[in-house]
């Protein structure tokens, strides 16, 4: 295991579960000191027990600016800086456009888009104060590019996260702060449990994914850490699809019409 984050302080918003937790674990393995903020305090306590030193869990709701500001301040007070940040918290209240209540729209967009804005605002302010640059990675979704039935609020918010990432890259570049987005496809986490509990729904997903399987959270964490690391020192404003080639599978499957591959190895 490399130690690309030794001596660095990382903040992970939504770090108690799924992709956020995989990012927390990998950062910790790679030497970082990590503050994870989340609304799920019980889960954070378990992470604290698992990781021990160089980890702090903190209750914070990313839709409340005071909470986000406090999480960044806590990392700075306790560990001295914020060098890298990950905005991961997300969920949705789905519904068809004609059915969706205003409050459901607001829940999803506030959490998935405003939460990322608030994170970026306070993470970048702290990095600018430090004058040492920094990196921010936002977790968007393949749904930033691909709509889904009942997903208008989520899809709009994730497209917004991708655009916001580019705006951040533009505004923060002169301060040495890079901002990038990861766009995962289907990942096996508590968020998607309902698809995994329904074999027909899972099969409908997998049929679209050329790699023929969903991702595990660690397979999203690894490219997210790449973007945050010095290995990506000239990458900013980028959207990295991590989707098992799902996004390139929109064309009809022509294999039945073309016949088999002739090369036989
Ligand atoms: N799982 C997938 O297939 C998938 C695909 C594409 C994108 N994503 C995105 O990845 C991110 C992580 O999702 P996941 O699948 O790991 O889900 P998850 O449910 O396992 O984790 C989400 C975490 O966010 C936290 N959270 C929820 N609301 C919060 C709030 N208001 N403030 C702070 N924390 C809050 C939850 O407590 C949880 O710990 C989300 O933004 C999601 O939209 C997931």
pLDDT value at residue 126: 98
Ranges of each domain in the chain: 9-188+217-240
Active site (annotated) includes residue 96:
no
Ligand 1 pocket, CB under 6 A = 14, 16-20, 38-40, 60-63, 88-91, 111, 139, 141, 184, 186-187, 189-192
Residue appearing with tokens 């595990």: 216
pLDDT value at residue 253: 87
pLDDT value at residue 1: 72
State which ligand 1 atom lies nearest to the alpha carbon of 19. Answer: 16
**Three-state DSSP class for residue 137:** strand
Q: Residue 3 and residue 9: Cα distance in Å, rounded?
A: 13
Q: CATH number for 9-188+217-240: choose from 3.20.20.70, 3.40.640.10, 3.40.50.720, 2.130.10.10.
A: 3.40.50.720
Q: Euclidean distance between the first and final Cα of the chain, in Å?
A: 35
**Three-state DSSP class for residue 26:** helix
Q: Taking Cα atoms as reference points, which of 92, 35, 42 lies closest to residue 67?
A: 35
Within 8 A by CB and 6+ apart from 76, the residues are 82, 126
Q: Taking Cα atoms as reference points, which of 156, 179, 41 lies closest to residue 109?
A: 156
pLDDT value at residue 113: 98
Which pLDDT tens digits describe the chain residue by residue (265 residues)? 789 999 999 999 999 999 999 999 999 999 999 999 999 999 999 999 999 999 999 999 999 999 999 999 999 999 999 999 999 999 999 999 999 999 999 999 999 999 999 999 999 999 999 999 999 999 999 999 999 999 999 999 999 999 999 999 999 999 999 999 999 999 999 999 999 999 999 999 999 999 999 999 999 999 999 999 999 999 999 999 999 999 999 888 899 999 999 999 8
Give, for 79, the enclosing helix (H) or strand (E). helix 65-79
């Amino acid at each position: 295991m490399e130690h690309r984050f030794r001596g660095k302080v990382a903040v992970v918003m939504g770090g108690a579960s799924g992709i956020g937790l995989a990012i927390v674990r990998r950062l910790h393995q790679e030497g970082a000191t990590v503050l994870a903020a989340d609304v799920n305090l019980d889960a954070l306590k378990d992470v604290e027990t698992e990781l021990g030193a160089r980890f702090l869990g903190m209750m914070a709701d990313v839709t409340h600016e005071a909470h986000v500001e406090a999480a960044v301040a806590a990392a700075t007070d306790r560990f001295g800086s914020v060098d890298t940040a990950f905005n991961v918290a997300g969920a949705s209240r789905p519904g068809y456009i004609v059915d969706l209540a205003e409050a459901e729209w607001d829940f999803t967009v506030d959490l998935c888009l405003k939460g990322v804005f608030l994170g970026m605002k306070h993470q970048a302010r702290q990095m600018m104060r430090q004058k040492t640059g920094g990196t921010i990675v936002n977790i968007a979704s393949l749904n930033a590019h691909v709509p889904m039935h009942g997903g208008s609020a989520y899809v709009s918010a994730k497209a917004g996260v991708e655009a916001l990432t580019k705006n951040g890259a533009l505004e923060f570049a002169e301060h040495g702060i890079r901002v990038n987005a990861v766009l995962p496809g289907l990942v096996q986490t508590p968020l998607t449990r309902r698809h995994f509990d329904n074999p027909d729904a899972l099969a409908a997903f997998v049929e679209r994914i050329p790699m023929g399987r969903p991702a595990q959270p660690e397979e999203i964490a690894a490219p997210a850490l790449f973007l945050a690391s010095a290995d990506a020192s000239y990458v900013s404003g980028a959207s990295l699809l991590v989707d098992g080639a799902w996004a390139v599978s929109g064309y009809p499957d022509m294999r039945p019409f073309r016949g088999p591959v002739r090369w036989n190895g």
